[in-house]
């Protein structure tokens, strides 16, 4: 398998060089930039699989760069910040970030986060290749494409994984902690509102009326479940929930 390509963007040369050396030793292809302008120039040429992106840059913000980069390629984004405020993390997730790491952090923790994000590129198994069809909503796990009434729905990688997981288990109620474990794929430490943020972003893209969702339902005091009226052909029932 080809080496994953990672772009590190941080204006602190100590942190930038430390991450660059660490990831290079773990057989990733790594490029680095100190500001937004340099990051976009490298991004265009390097076409990374993952961007490790500092929130505070001298000529831009990580939030803006995250949106611009994902608007071009749908790249995975791991944001770095010295801010410990959960509201800043929620903002980062709402801008499309796949994960968030607060400085100072351990290199082992960084490695776990990077591995978890890049695993979303893994080939799906034959049992997971079934295209899910729900009353005009189509979810293709092989091409990682979602369409609604034949119109393409632009989802981030994490939004796709969350929607696909819920739709693969229609009718089952999932607690936020369970969704984090299943979809984030590691022990997430932080505010579980991150699930609410991602559900809200998905609803904006697939629901006609987000105040009265018909596909992803909130189960008060518990979590979320996916329900689809007039399920077509039972396709979604081919993937069973993990115990």
Residues 192-203 pLDDT 10s: 778 898 999 999
Q: Which pLDDT value is given to residue 72?
A: 82
Non-local (6+) Cβ contacts of 182 within 8 A are 165, 174, 242
Quickly state the pLDDT bin for 125 (edges 50, 70, 90).
low
Which residue is listed with tokens 């937004």?
36
Peptide bond preceding 104: is omega within 30 degrees of 0, i.e. cis?
Answer: yes
CB 60 within 8 A of CB 35: yes
Quickly state the pLDDT bin for 154 (edges 50, 70, 90).
confident
One-letter-per-residue 3-state SS of the chain? CCCCEEEEECCCHHHHHHHHHHHHHCCCEEEEECCHHHHHHHHHHHCCCEEEEECECCCCEHHHHHHHHHHHHCCEEEEEECCCCHHHHHHHHHCCCCEEEECCCCHHHHHHHHHHHHHHHCCCCHHHCCCEEECCEEEECCCCEEEECCEEECCCHHHHHHHHHHHCCCCCCEEHHHHHHHHHCCCCCCCCHHHHHHHHHHHHHHCCCCCCCCCEEEECCCEEEECCCCECCCHHHHCCCCC
CA distance 67 to 72: 9
Quickly state the pLDDT bin for 2 (edges 50, 70, 90).
low
Q: Which pLDDT value is given to residue 203?
A: 95
The domains found in the chain, sorted by start residue, are 5-121 (3.40.50.2300), 126-237 (1.10.10.10)
Q: What is the mean pLDDT of residues 67-76?
A: 84
Q: Which pLDDT value is given to residue 187?
A: 60
Mean pLDDT lowest among 30-34, 169-173, 193-197: 193-197
Tell which wins on pLDDT, 95 or 123. 95
CA distance 29 to 48: 9
Q: Which pLDDT value is given to residue 156?
A: 82
Mean pLDDT lowest among 60-64, 71-75, 186-190, 225-229: 186-190
Q: What is the pLDDT of residues 46-69, one digit of tens each?
A: 999 999 999 889 999 888 999 889
CA distance 93 to 79: 9
| Residue from 206, 200, 198 nearest 153 by CA | 206
Mean pLDDT lowest among 11-15, 137-141, 189-193: 189-193
Q: Which pLDDT value is given to residue 111?
A: 92
CA distance 27 to 109: 17
CB 135 within 8 A of CB 230: yes
Q: What is the mean pLDDT of residues 168-179?
A: 91
CA distance 241 to 152: 26
Q: Which pLDDT value is given to residue 82?
A: 78
CB atoms within 10 A of CB 222: 12
Mean pLDDT (the chain, rounded): 84
CA distance 194 to 198: 6
- Of 34-48, 56-70, 228-242, give the range with the top mean pLDDT: 34-48
The yes-or-no verdict on residue 234 having pLDDT over 50 is: no
Q: Which pLDDT value is given to residue 238?
A: 38
Quickly state the pLDDT bin for 240 (edges 50, 70, 90).
very low
């Amino acid at each position: 398998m080809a080496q994953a390509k990672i772009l590190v963007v941080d204006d602190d040369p100590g942190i930038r060089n430390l991450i660059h050396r660490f990831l290079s030793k773990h057989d990733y292809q790594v490029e680095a930039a100190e500001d937004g302008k340099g990051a976009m120039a490298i991004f265009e040429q390097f076409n990374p699989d993952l961007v490790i992106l500092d929130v505070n840059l001298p000529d831009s913000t990580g939030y803006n760069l995250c949106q611009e980069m994902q608007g071009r390629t749908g790249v995975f984004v791991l944001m770095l910040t010295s801010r410990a405020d959960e509201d800043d993390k929620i903002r980062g997730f709402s801008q499309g970030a796949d994960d968030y790491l607060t400085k100072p952090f351990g290199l082992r923790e960084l490695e776990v986060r990077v591995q978890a994000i890049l695993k979303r590129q893994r080939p799906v198994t034959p049992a997971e290749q079934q295209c899910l069809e729900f009353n005009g909503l189509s979810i293709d796990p092989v091409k990682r494409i979602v369409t609604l009434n034949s119109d393409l729905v632009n989802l981030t990688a994490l939004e796709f994984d969350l929607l696909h997981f819920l739709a693969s288990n229609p009718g089952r109620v999932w607690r936020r902690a369970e969704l984090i474990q299943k979809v984030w794929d590691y022990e997430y430490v932080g505010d579980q509102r991150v699930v609410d943020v991602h559900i809200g972003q998905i609803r904006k893209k697939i629901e006609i009326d987000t105040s009265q969702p018909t596909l992803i339902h909130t189960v008060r005091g518990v979590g979320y479940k996916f329900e689809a009226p007039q399920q077509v052909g039972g396709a979604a029932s081919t993937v069973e929930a993990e115990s």
